[in-house]
Amino acid sequence: MASQKAKKQVSSLPHMTQAAQEEKRRQLAYKELVQKKKPRPRYLRNVLVAFVVGGAIAVLGQLVLRFFMSRGLDLDAASAPTLAVMILVGVIATGLGIYDELGELAGAGAAVPITGFANTIVAAAMDYKREGWVLGMGAKMFLIAGPVIVYGTLAGVVVAFIKFMTSP
C-alpha cells in the first residue's frame, strides 16, 4: 500500500533510468515509513493542559489585580504592579526549580503567561553565569525575553503613533 503510492509518484518521472527510478522509489517508501513511525505531538492533550495551566495562572493574576484594585487603584494603575508581582512569582518559582517542571508539563500554558517571560530571564541568567557575570549573565539574560521587548516596543510605538495621529 505504502509502496504503491511511491510507485505512482515515481512513474510520473519517465526520464529516469530504471535504477534511478528504483532508488527514488525506495527513498519515497522510506520517507513514508518515517512519517508513519514519527511520534506525533499529542495535540488534544497539549492544548487542554496549556488551557488549564494558563487559565490557572490568569486566576492567580486576577487575585493580585483584585488586591491592588481594592487598594483604590483603577484598572490601568493596577496593571503595572500586577505584572510586577506576577513576574516576581515567576522569578521565585524558577529559582526553586518549579517553573521548569511546569514548562515541561504545560508547554505554552507556562510560556505564554508573564510568569513564563520572567522564567526565561532567570533561567538564562542562571545558565550563562558560568560564562561570566558581565558577558555571560549580564549580556544573555534577555536572550529569549529580549525579542519580546524589542518587537513589543516596535509594534507598540507604531500602533500608538497611528492612534495618536488619527484620534481627534
Partner 1 sequence: MTYLFAFLVGGAICAIGQLILDFTNLTPGHMLVLLTVAGAIAAGFDLYKPLLEFAGAGALTPVSGFGASIARGALAEAKRMGILGLFTGVFEYTGMGIAVAVFFGALVALIANPKA
- Kindly identify the residues of this chain, within the stretch 97-126, that bind partner 1 according to CB under 8 A: 97, 100, 106-109, 111-118, 121-123, 125-126
Which of 62, 105, 131, 132 lies at the binding interface for partner 1 (CB under 8 A)? 62
DSSP letter at 129 equals: G
Is 75 a residue that touches partner 1 (CB under 8 A)?
A: yes
**Contact region with partner 1 (CB under 8 A), list: 7-15, 16-24, 31-39, 62-70:** 62-70
**Contact region with partner 1 (CB under 8 A), list: 7-15, 17-25, 28-36, 46-54:** 46-54
What CA–CA distances, in Å, run from 32 to 18, 107, 165? 21, 28, 55
Which of 2, 29, 47, 139 lies at the binding interface for partner 1 (CB under 8 A)? 47
The answer to whether 61 and 86 are in contact (CB under 8 A) is: yes
Is 73 a residue that touches partner 1 (CB under 8 A)?
A: no
Which of 10, 61, 99, 102 lies at the binding interface for partner 1 (CB under 8 A)? 61
What CA–CA distances, in Å, run from 8 to 19, 36, 96, 168? 16, 19, 57, 64
Grid cell for residue 78:
493596577
The residue among 28 and 145 lying less far from partner 1, judged by its C-beta, is 145
- Phi and psi torsions of 113, nearest 5°: -60, 160
